[in-house]
Amino acid sequence: MGKSVSSNWIKGLSYLILFSGLWIMILPFLWMISSSFKTLEQVNEIPIRWIPTEFHFENYLEVFRVIPMAKFMGNTVFVSFIVTVVTLMICAMAAYAFARLEFRGRDALFFCYLATMMVPDQVTMIPNFIMMKYFGWIDSYYALTIPKFFSAFGVFMLRQFFLTIPRELEEAATIDGCSRARTFWSVVLPLAKPALVTLGIFTFLGEWNSFLWPLIVTNNVDLQTIQVGLRTFQGEFGTQWNLLMAGTVIAELPIIALYIFAQKYIIAGIATSGIKG
């Protein structure tokens, strides 16, 4: 009886903590949506009025009038797509090499490669910027995409997945006359679909929400991404919070839709990528 009561208390406390965490995370999102339908004066009201007395849907139209929102979204989609596709190709080939190929110093090289995950992006940002300037790539899609093609996390994640694939499948393909490259493309990659989709979604989300790197390598408005473009609503003498929140809602809708569509692949990819070390 005592253990049952204690178990119920622990379970109830766990639910309370999780429910509190849920509201802490969701309240800013609800405030963003609420503010996107208000006037600037209503946004600055204290106490906060969560439900506007009058919904100003014209804020969303005003976003497209004030800034080239369609151009920003197009740039973001293009950059995110290119980075995602190339990153998947590079990470898949590198991960397969670390998982299956035997060569001197493989494990040491892999350890050094993983060690780069401990280096913050801010540390490498200045050297990368100097390289982009040396190549003459500032204000170009080259600067927005090429430095983002390499992901130590992606290599590690796919390597863990490749280690779970039975070697017998690859040996059977080799007996049938497949080369190592043909085995990789025709046997291994199709089996790695959950992990590839998961990594692709993480990469796409990261690039879609990237702000600091596009900010420092682009001065031309025609090349700026949506996160940098929304900065237009923040001026020296004030911020147009209602328009900024409306623009943020527009920017987040594609990401939310993508996550809802692909969440089963994310769960499957994460679950299967850590089975074998």
> Which domain CATH number covers 66?
1.10.3720.10
Q: Is residue 23 part of a domain?
A: no
Mean pLDDT (the chain) is 85
Q: Residue 42: what pLDDT?
A: 85
Q: Residue 277: what pLDDT?
A: 41
Token pair in block for residue 55: 């919904």
Q: Is residue 33 part of a domain?
A: no
CA distance 185 to 203: 21
CA distance 174 to 167: 11
- Model confidence at 276, pLDDT cuts 50, 70, 90, reads very low
- Model confidence at 80, pLDDT cuts 50, 70, 90, reads very high
Pick from 31-35, 36-40, 159-163, 270-274: least confident = 270-274
Residues of the chain with pLDDT > 70, as a percent, come to 92
Q: How many independent structural domains does the chain possess?
A: 1
Q: Is residue 26 part of a domain?
A: no
Q: Is residue 69 part of a domain?
A: yes
Q: Whats the size of the chain, residue-wise?
A: 277
Q: Residue 9: what pLDDT?
A: 79
Query: Domain containing 65: what range?
Result: 60-273
Q: Is residue 35 part of a domain?
A: no
Q: Is residue 13 part of a domain?
A: no
Q: Is residue 24 part of a domain?
A: no
Strand partners, 235: 238
* Residue carrying structure tokens 């379970």: 11
Q: What is the pLDDT of residues 177-189, one digit of tens each?
A: 888 888 888 888 8
Q: Residue 217: what pLDDT?
A: 93
Q: Is residue 158 part of a domain?
A: yes
- How confident is the model over 83-112, as a mean pLDDT? 90
Alpha helix positions (H), 36-166: 40-43, 58-66, 69-100, 106-115, 121-135, 141-145, 152-162
pTM: 0.82
CA distance 265 to 262: 5
CA distance 272 to 194: 8
- Model confidence at 4, pLDDT cuts 50, 70, 90, reads low
CA distance 110 to 91: 13
* Residue carrying structure tokens 């939310």: 256
CB 233 within 8 Å of CB 251 = no
Q: Residue 117: what pLDDT?
A: 86
Name residue 213's amino acid.
W
